[in-house]
Amino acid sequence: MGDLTLNLESMDLTCGNESIRLSQKEFAIARILLGSPGAVLSKEQLISRAWGPASSASDNNVEAYISFLRKKMTHVGSKAKIETIRSVGYRLTEGD
């Protein structure tokens, strides 16, 4: 997606020459967002797909991991952004 690459084997997020390792949940969420570029995904959809439908994960868990991913995307210098769509969910865009 844009300038981001997600290595499915090493769980690294890469932009240009910069790379950073993701935790399992960060990787799961990144994979979902990168697999649905431009689509708005609700917190419930992310919980169901990243933690599983029977999970006790909450909206706060999603918010925390989205924050972690945003920081790592900034760290590697990506222009891609995770947008918050108020009262709906999140969307990955290519950025400016």
Per-residue pLDDT, averaged over 67-84, amounts to 93
Amino acid identity for residue 45 in this structure: Q
- Other C-beta atoms lying within 10 Å of the C-beta of residue 68: 15
Give yes or no for residue 96 having a pLDDT over 80.
Answer: no
Per-residue pLDDT, averaged over 88-92, amounts to 93
Mean confidence (pLDDT) of the chain:
91
Q: Are 24 and 11 in contact (CB under 8 A)?
A: yes
* SS3 readout for 58-96: CHHHHHHHHHHHHHHHHHCCCCCEEEEECCCEEEEECCC
Nearest Cα residue to 57 out of 92, 15, 18, 28: 28
Can you give the pLDDT at residue 54?
A: 84
Can you give the pLDDT at residue 37?
A: 80
Please give the CATH topology (third level) of the domain spanning 4-93: Arc Repressor Mutant, subunit A (1.10.10)
pTM (2 d.p.): 0.89
